[in-house]
Chain A
C-alpha cells in the first residue's frame, strides 16, 4: 500500500540514514534504495531478504521510522532541529539576552554589557596577568540575582592547570555579597532583600561545579559528558575551561590530530552554548612566534583556533615590574563578531584609562587577525 500523500521524508536515500555501516552495505547489495521501501517490506520480509535476525530488522526499521517521522513532525526550535528564525526574532532574542555582569563598569561597557550568553569568549594573556582571576570572578558573578542585574545562574569550572584557589573565590564571593548588600541598602526594594537571603557565601560556593582534568583525554571526555550534566543542572549559565591550551601543548607529535580535536571541541562548545543558553569562557596561553627580525607574543594553539571564539580578550601587562607605580589599565576595544576570514568594517574604538583592580590591558579583536592597534591615545 502506498501512501496517498507523498511525504518527502520517505523518499530519503538509505545512505542518509544513521544505520550501521555493515547493515547499510547489505541493504545496498540487496537493492534497497529509499526509506519507503524498507518500511513497506516489514521486519520479517527484511530479515529474510538480507539475512539478518528479526530483532535486528525491527531495530533498523524503528531507527528509520524515527528519523523520517521525526523530521516531519519535529517542533521548530527543539534541540537538534534545524533552527529557523527571522532576523527580527533574533534581534529580540539578543536584546533580551542576559549578560554576566562583572560589577566593573568599564569592562562591562567594552564587552557590550558583560560576558554574553550563548557565545564563546576567549581570554588570552601572559602568565600571571589575571586570566584565572577573571574566570573565578565570572563564576561568582553569574550567580548574581536578577534583581541586581545578573542572570542568577550556576557555573561549571573545568580546570586543566590546577590554578583554581578556593580561598580566592571565597574572597571574591564575600566582596560580591557585600556589594549587593550595599546596593540593597541604597535602593530599598522588597525583592532585593528576598534575593539576598539566598545569595550567601555557602550557596555561591555550592553552585560552582569544579572538574579537574589532567590531560586532554579527560578534557575530551568531560566535554562529551557536559550536555548530560547541563541537562541535569539546568540553571548552569557559565562554563569555564581554564587552560584550554595546556593539555594540548605537549605530547602531540601529530599536529593535524590536535587541530581536529580542537575543532571538534570548539564545535561541541558552540552547541552547548546555544542549546543551554550558557556563556562559554576559555583561557588561552600566549606563545612566542619567532619572526624574521623579532619575536612576537601571540595566542597559542594556532591560527585556526582563533576562529572558535566570538570575542577574544587579550590581557596585557603595563608597566609590569615597576613596583613603585600603580599598574595602569588601558582599555582598548575593537569589537566585531565572528566571520571567519573577514574583518567587519564596523568597528568602534574606545579608549579608556582608569585604575581598577583587574590590572590589565584589554584588546578585543576579531579572532582571525593578530593585528594590534598601532597607536592609541590615553585619556587620563
Chain B
C-alpha cells in the first residue's frame, strides 16, 4: 500500500509529472511531506493541498469494518479459525487451538521439545478438515538442521494410526511438507519475502520457522554498538511480513525462540541473556528471591520481538521426563500450565492441568 504509485491514486497526470520531478512517486513519499513542503512542490494553495492529501489518503487508507461484521465472518467459518493441537486441555484454554492469522511463538530451553512440537503441528496441518487438520501444505524453514523426516513419519504413524494406515498415505503427507534450510539472517528474510507466491501456488496452510533465535543470535552480538538496533530492525521487518502473510491467507505462523534461564544463585547454566534486563520485574525478582534455585526465564530476542508475536507458549523442564507447557501470552487465554511428556506419538499431556485464573477474564465489579 505504501508503494502505491501516485498515478493510481487518481491524481491528474500533470500533477504526477510535476511531483516526479521532485522524486515523489509513491503515496508514501507524498504523505511524509509536511504541508508547507507540499504547497511548494505542488504549487497549489493551502486548501487545494488539503484536498490532494485527502485524495491520496483515500487511496491508501484501509477499509473500515465493524466488529460485528468481523464476528459474522468468523462464525460463518469456525473450523478454519484454529489449528487444533490435539492436546485437548491446551485447545480448550486457547479457545480452539493455535489461532490462524497471527504469530505464535514456542519458546524453550534447548531440548524441551520445540522441534518435536513443530513437527507434530506440521503433521496436523496436512490432515483433512474432518479429523481436525487444515488440509494443506506446510512450509518449514529450518535454520538448525533439526528437522528429521523419520521422526515426522514416526509421529504421524503413532498419533493417527487409523488414518495413516498405508505407506502411501504417509508418503503423501511428506510430500506436502516443504522444507527450506536457511542458515543466515539475510537468507531467512529473503525466504520470508518470497513466501507469498509459494503460499498461493502450493496451497500452504501452515508456516513454521525453526528457529528464529539461533540464526539471529549467531549474527548479532548485542554487546556491540549498533547491533541492537539492527537486530530490532531485522526482527520487526520479518515480523511484519509474516503478520501480513498470516492475516492475508488466514493461516497460523509458528516461530520458535530460545529461552535462557538466569539463575540467581549456584553455578548452573551460563546466563546467556541477550538483553540483560528484558523485563524489569524479572530482574527485580531475581534480586529479591536471592536464594532460590529455580531462576526466572527470559525469552531471547528482546522486547521488540515479544511485542510482535501474538501468542507465546513456553516449554520448560519439570521433573524429568515430565515437562511443563505454559501459556504465557495470549489474547484469549489466561495463564495456564500443563504437564507433558514426549513420546513416540509426539507430545502427550499428563493429567494435572492448572488454569490459573480459571475462566477467561471477567470484569470485576
Chain A residues proximal to chain B, CB less than 8 Å: 18-23, 63, 103-104, 126-128, 132-133, 137, 139, 157, 161-163, 165-172, 175-176, 179, 182, 202, 204-218, 220-222, 224-225, 228-229, 245-247, 249-251, 257, 260-261, 264, 285-288, 290, 294-297, 316-321, 323, 326-327, 356-358
Is B66 touching A207 in the complex (CB atoms < 8 A)? yes
Interfacial chain A residues near B232, Cβ < 8 Å: 249-250
Is B31 touching A323 in the complex (CB atoms < 8 A)? no
Is B310 touching A162 in the complex (CB atoms < 8 A)? yes
Please report the C-alpha to C-alpha distance between residue A215 and residue B282 in the assembled complex, in whole angstroms.
Answer: 32
Interfacial chain A residues near B246, Cβ < 8 Å: 162
Is A212 touching B303 in the complex (CB atoms < 8 A)? no
B32 shortest CB reach to chain A, Å:
6
Stretch at the interface among B149-157, B174-182, B355-363: B355-363
Interfacial chain A residues near B71, Cβ < 8 Å: 166-167, 170, 205
Query: Can you name 4 extra interface pairs (CB under 8 A) apart from A321-B328, A323-B335?
Result: A215-B1, A221-B60, A246-B308, A358-B364
Please report the C-alpha to C-alpha distance between residue A246 and residue B307 in the assembled complex, in whole angstroms.
Answer: 8
Q: Is B346 an interface residue (CB 8 A)?
A: no
> Would you call the interface of chain A mostly helix, strand, loop, or mixed?
mixed
Is A161 touching B101 in the complex (CB atoms < 8 A)? no
Is A210 touching B64 in the complex (CB atoms < 8 A)? yes
Q: Could you name 30 residue pairs across A and B whose Cβ atoms are closer than 8 Å?
A: A20-B48, A63-B47, A104-B364, A126-B280, A127-B303, A162-B246, A165-B332, A166-B74, A168-B331, A168-B360, A171-B360, A175-B363, A210-B67, A211-B61, A212-B62, A218-B61, A224-B54, A229-B64, A245-B307, A246-B308, A247-B240, A249-B304, A260-B34, A288-B277, A288-B302, A295-B277, A297-B279, A323-B356, A327-B335, A357-B363
B180 shortest CB reach to chain A, Å:
23
CB contacts under 8 Å to A, within B212-247, are 228, 232-233, 236-237, 240, 243-244, 246-247
Is A249 touching B236 in the complex (CB atoms < 8 A)? yes
Is A167 touching B43 in the complex (CB atoms < 8 A)? no
- B296 partner, pick from A139, A162, A247, A321, beta carbons under 8 A: A321
- B331 partner, pick from A165, A204, A260, beta carbons under 8 A: A165
Is A19 touching B233 in the complex (CB atoms < 8 A)? no
Interfacial chain A residues near B361, Cβ < 8 Å: 133, 171-172, 357
CB contacts under 8 Å to A, within B280-326, are 280-283, 285, 296-297, 302-304, 306-310, 312, 326
* Residue of B62, B66, B67, B233 most packed against chain A (CB within 10 A): B67
B337 and chain A: residue at smallest CB distance: A323
A170 shortest CB reach to chain B, Å:
6
Is A167 touching B95 in the complex (CB atoms < 8 A)? yes
Is A168 touching B279 in the complex (CB atoms < 8 A)? no
Interfacial chain A residues near B64, Cβ < 8 Å: 209-211, 229
Interfacial chain A residues near B70, Cβ < 8 Å: 166, 210
Q: Is B65 an interface residue (CB 8 A)?
A: yes
Interfacial chain B residues near A250, Cβ < 8 Å: 232-233, 236-237, 240
Please report the C-alpha to C-alpha distance between residue A175 and residue B170 in the assembled complex, in whole angstroms.
Answer: 47
Interfacial chain B residues near A171, Cβ < 8 Å: 360-361
Please report the C-alpha to C-alpha distance between residue A103 and residue B361 in the assembled complex, in whole angstroms.
Answer: 14
Q: Is B203 an interface residue (CB 8 A)?
A: no
Q: Is B27 an interface residue (CB 8 A)?
A: yes
CB contacts under 8 Å to A, within B184-233, are 228, 232-233
Interfacial chain A residues near B283, Cβ < 8 Å: 294
Is B281 touching A167 in the complex (CB atoms < 8 A)? no
Please report the C-alpha to C-alpha distance between residue A19 and residue B61 in the assembled complex, in whole angstroms.
Answer: 28
Please report the C-alpha to C-alpha distance between residue A261 and residue B60 in the assembled complex, in whole angstroms.
Answer: 17
CB contacts under 8 Å to A, within B39-74, are 39-40, 43-48, 53-54, 56-68, 70-71, 74
- A161 partner, pick from B53, B54, B308, B354, beta carbons under 8 A: B308
Interfacial chain A residues near B22, Cβ < 8 Å: none
CB contacts under 8 Å to A, within B8-45, are 27-28, 31-32, 34, 39-40, 43-45
B34 shortest CB reach to chain A, Å:
7
Is A323 touching B1 in the complex (CB atoms < 8 A)? no
Is A162 touching B243 in the complex (CB atoms < 8 A)? yes
With A166-B67, A166-B70, A222-B61 known as contacts, the answer to whether A214 contacts B244 (CB < 8 A) is yes
Interfacial chain A residues near B326, Cβ < 8 Å: 321, 323
Please report the C-alpha to C-alpha distance between residue A264 and residue B34 in the assembled complex, in whole angstroms.
Answer: 8
Is B354 touching A323 in the complex (CB atoms < 8 A)? yes
* Residue of A133, A257, A296, A323 most packed against chain B (CB within 10 A): A323
Please report the C-alpha to C-alpha distance between residue A149 and residue B294 in the assembled complex, in whole angstroms.
Answer: 48
With A166-B71, A225-B57, A296-B277 known as contacts, the answer to whether A63 contacts B45 (CB < 8 A) is yes
**Which 5 A-B pairs rank lowest in CB-CB distance, beginning with the nearest?**
A128-B329, A18-B46, A250-B236, A217-B2, A127-B306
- A213 partner, pick from B62, B280, B281, B356, beta carbons under 8 A: B62
Interfacial chain A residues near B47, Cβ < 8 Å: 18, 63
Q: Is B91 an interface residue (CB 8 A)?
A: no
Interfacial chain B residues near A202, Cβ < 8 Å: 68
Is B101 touching A162 in the complex (CB atoms < 8 A)? yes
Please report the C-alpha to C-alpha distance between residue A104 and residue B356 in the assembled complex, in whole angstroms.
Answer: 21
Is A175 touching B362 in the complex (CB atoms < 8 A)? yes
A286 shortest CB reach to chain B, Å:
6
Is B276 touching A294 in the complex (CB atoms < 8 A)? yes
* Residue of A63, A286, A296, A326 most packed against chain B (CB within 10 A): A286
A294 and chain B: residue at smallest CB distance: B277
Please report the C-alpha to C-alpha distance between residue A286 and residue B281 in the assembled complex, in whole angstroms.
Answer: 13
Is B278 touching A214 in the complex (CB atoms < 8 A)? no
- A225 partner, pick from B58, B247, B282, beta carbons under 8 A: B58
A265 shortest CB reach to chain B, Å:
11
Is B2 touching A218 in the complex (CB atoms < 8 A)? yes
Please report the C-alpha to C-alpha distance between residue A245 and residue B228 in the assembled complex, in whole angstroms.
Answer: 17
Interfacial chain B residues near A210, Cβ < 8 Å: 64-67, 70
Interfacial chain B residues near A288, Cβ < 8 Å: 228, 275, 277-278, 302-303
Please report the C-alpha to C-alpha distance between residue A110 and residue B53 in the assembled complex, in whole angstroms.
Answer: 40
Is B27 touching A217 in the complex (CB atoms < 8 A)? yes
Please report the C-alpha to C-alpha distance between residue A206 and residue B237 in the assembled complex, in whole angstroms.
Answer: 33
